Structure 1
């Protein structure tokens, strides 16, 4: 069998070959611009998905042409790469073909105005997660699953295509790493994070359940303090517990921190102590796989608008997580509907009862 030997080109010849192909083939500029954005995560699947979203066409023939013309090669992980030794020339050319992203903050404001909950959640998850996944799940798997379950698979597919087509983000894949990456400057990402944090905080603060939870927790704290006073064990207990006189005994049997905003996960959070029970309180409109795994203070109750579908396969969500699910005390509740929990606690059960929840199911 005769082996085909590839003739070596001078850098200028390599450059001219690329420019000739760009001039002669519609869509070549778009395809090469995608290479610049993906930084090596250039498997055929990634290139085809991005190109199709941007142009409505297929790019497999263009990829074959680039290989035939000795512009590209196949790497160790089935990714398309420029020929070795021509990286500087290739990157210099494709940088000029990369699309300019629109202003993400403008897209965000339009989504807020239109009440596009799916788009807003997509942006929120992309900002929170970056390119990293959780455990054995890629970032793409997590976002796709959460948006599909919160809304529908069709909504996710439509959003993904729209985000790529508008040059808001890019899809990349190589080996087990698969992601959607926002295509924005660091300053713009920071700006949008601040804006979405402000919007989310105001939105959550307006939820009626916040006032309800605050009212019920304050009452539980006051009840605990009143019981302590009625039992007339203040001095005796203070001595037993070695509590300094400067501290209020009431704060050791009943305490509520009030609500603040978690800047990272964009939740409204607080914590309460009633007698021997401590409980962290989280109020959010929705709860994703990433968010529940990232929370690290326990025991906790997430109070949300609807139970996430993944709660019925919680072991899969927490596979390879640290700490393990068995070492976390988690409850998820929807007022006046249902709660799921993997732990038992008097304060938890009293709170869910006061929230109108009569069905408390074991989370497993």
Structure 2
């Protein structure tokens, strides 16, 4: 019997094509709970973008063997519930690394060079703004990277190669050798990095440990000339504290691809600040990246449903769980 794969939201057609070669594929008409609860009941695999995957929803998925997250992060998925129910969660952790790293360099460069206020000034016939002399070089400015994984380390390498920026990093989970290999210097504490860096760039997942890790006290440690870059998750930064720090000129500017609420409310003060560059959670959404993500996420589902252990498993402990559906069905010869 052909297996069923549910796609919760629109993805690049290349991923759909990959899955349609082997499975009965359908795209949910909308990602609401009621719709997904109905559609997921006979699904053997699910590919999800941003729809909330709760325990209640998963309990409707009695046939579900594997879920693939369309991207690297998975904070919209109840991973603990998936593991308890014996369901594999896979992701696409390397597919958008290049795109997000490039985006990071471009936005902090744009803030440093005052691209947005200069653009607005020219359009408003205020050409003499060029004589304000407020734009800054990147050369020899210290880049502080919080989270030195695949994306963070690539940001460090590209920044040093392109702009001769000294790179410092804070990541208690990365060995010294890995940090040194990419030409960075380890900071033993977050506070040390914040006090030293001219540009602070966040590249961490949203977890209980990282939620609100940049708040009022941390912002107060930064240089008045510093720029904060958040391309990770909105919840990593205390947004009201950031707004206050920008309004009081505690720091000089920010580049944000993510927000506490997405999309942000129309009255969010960040939308009115010329020293803040905003993008719509799009750092990893270049054409090339979404194609790579689509292929990688689809491959995780395909491998699993053909009885092959997928390459990128978010919850590998599920393989030892007595209720693991992948292990059971493979042993029964049903995969």
What is the TM-score normalised by the length of structure 1?
Answer: 0.25
Structure with the larger RCO, 1 or 2 (CA within 8 Å, 6+ apart): 2
What is the TM-score normalised by the length of structure 2?
Answer: 0.26
- Structure having the higher helix fraction is 1
**Structure index of larger Rg:** 1
